[in-house]
Each structure stands twice: as structure tokens, then as C-alpha cells.
Structure 1
Amino acid sequence: MKPSILLSAPLLCALLMPVAANAQAGDAQSSPTASSRPQRISPDQQPRFRQYVIQRQHPSFTYSSPIVVGGVLPEAGVTYYEVPNEYGMTSHRYTIINDKPVLVDPSTRTIIQVIED
């Protein structure tokens, strides 16, 4: 009986290895990495970015809900604009909500950052 157990162990290990590898890969994908975290405009660039937005004179969208990070903007009525490469936000867009520049993830309409005065 012992020889059959010894022969079964390597077979069992061979079958379970791909399962263990997939579990580890899944864990790595679920933990945030630098590239998956929302990018923001650094504090030292915010005044310059705010000035850039003001110079463009885009209309402001009136929004009755609080403007907070994590909030989701409505599907209709909001216009999104590209963020210049110098601010490093190529995948995000900005809009103006209640006269404040706001960074948004355009795929989810989620507020990433509110640019304060």
C-alpha cells in the first residue's frame, strides 16, 4: 500500500501546481501596483494646471452632489478634456464641475482628484 501512495504523490503535485500558480497570479493582479493606482497631479503642479484650465475657458458643469474623490459623474452633460502630457495624466481626463477642475477616469466617470485653489 505504501508504494501506491508514493507513486500518487508526484502525480498529485503535478496536477496541483497549475492551480497554485494561478492562485498566486490572481493575488498579484488584485493587489494595486503603481500603474494601476489612480494617477494624480502633484501638489507642486496643481497651480500651473489650474491656470492651464482657466485659460481654456471651458464651460463649467453644474452638479448638485458633493464633489468628492470616488464620486461618479452623470453619464450625460459632462464634457471631458485631455490632460496635457506634461502633467503625466494621459489616461485620465479633466472637466470643470462647479467652477473647479476635476480629474476623472473617463471609463468609469469616477472623480480621481479635485484641484483646489
Structure 2
Amino acid sequence: MKKLVITAAVAALMAGSAFAQNTNKEAGTAAGIVGGATAGAVVGGPIGAGVGAVVGGALGGALTPPPPEVVTYVEQQPAPQSVVVQEQIVVGQPIPSAVVLTPVPQNPRYAYAVVNDHRVIVEPQSRTVVQVIN
């Protein structure tokens, strides 16, 4: 049973990384698989790795990058004061609650902030980072 779960997790990782070269959504799936497998292995060993890979892949693939017009809008706005946080800002993770978000008027599904001198596009309901603009 353990071999089957480990084999499935490895196959999922390989398939996810091959597809990840095509689009951002697929990259999110691959990152979710890897992150989920790692976290699952720490908590539940080989079986946890398999379960974590599946769950992480599903969650990572659900993250949708913002449309180009949202990115352009955020890039063209005067930069608000940059907030400095100790946490690393990572796509797919929530932004700290201390960071004030500015809504994107043309698309209320997105908001932005400047954190650690980087513009960050966020899904405001969950505060999940969807893109970091360098």
C-alpha cells in the first residue's frame, strides 16, 4: 500500500511539473502538489505525502492569476507607502492582516498593496496573494 501511494505521489509530481511549463494555473498546481506532499510527509509519513500531494494540487490549481488589465492598473498607480513585514510574501499564501489593501475599481475580485517594496495583487476575500510584481 505504501509503495502505491508513494508511486502515485511521484507520478503526480512528475506530471504536474511537466504541465507547469504551460500556464500559471498549472504552475500553481505543481507548486501545490510539491508543497502538499512535503507538508503531508512531515505530518503523516508516506501516506500523508500522497494525500498532501492530491490536496495541494487541487488547491494550487484553483489560484487564478489576475487578468492583464488588473496588472497594468496596479503597475500604473502611484505607489502607496510600502509596508515592511517579516513574513515572506508568497503567491498562494495569505498576506498579513496588518497590510492595508487598496481595491482595484475595475475588478473588485482584486486588490493590491506595496509590501517590502513589491507591488502585490491579492484576492481580497481571503487575502490570498495571486501575483507579486517585481
Query: Taking structure 2 as the reference length, what is the TM-score of the superposition?
Result: 0.45
Between the aligned residues of both structures, percent identity stands at 28
Task: Give distance in 1, aligned partners of 2:63 and 2:93.
Answer: 16
Task: Give distance in 2, aligned partners of 1:51 and 1:40.
Answer: 15
CA shift at 1:78, angstroms?
Answer: 1.0
Task: Specify whether residues 111 and 51 from structure 1 end up closer, same or farther in structure 2 by C-alpha distance, changes over 3 A only.
Answer: same
Give the helix-richer structure, 1 or 2. 2
Q: Secondary structure at the match of 2:64?
A: coil
The corresponding residue for 1:50 is 75
Query: Taking CA–CA contacts closer than 8 Å with sequence separation of 6 or more, which of the two structures ends up with the larger relative contact order?
Result: 1
Q: Give the residue type in structure 2 aligned to 1:59.
A: Q
Candidates 97, 102, 110, aligned match of 1:81: 102
Q: How many pairs were matched up? A: 75
Task: Specify whether residues 107 and 48 from structure 1 end up closer, same or farther in structure 2 by C-alpha distance, changes over 3 A only.
Answer: closer
Q: Secondary structure at the match of 2:76?
A: helix
The corresponding residue for 2:121 is 103
- Deviations along 1:40-72, whole A, 9 cap, x unmatched? 142x874563132xx2x4111112222220121
Please tell me whether Structure 1 or Structure 2 has the larger radius of gyration of its CA atoms.
Answer: 1
Where structure 2 has 5 or more consecutive residues not aligned to the other structure, the ranges are 1-57
CA shift at 1:105, angstroms?
Answer: 1.4
Q: Secondary structure at the match of 2:74?
A: helix
Task: Give distance in 2, aligned partners of 1:62 and 1:68.
Answer: 14
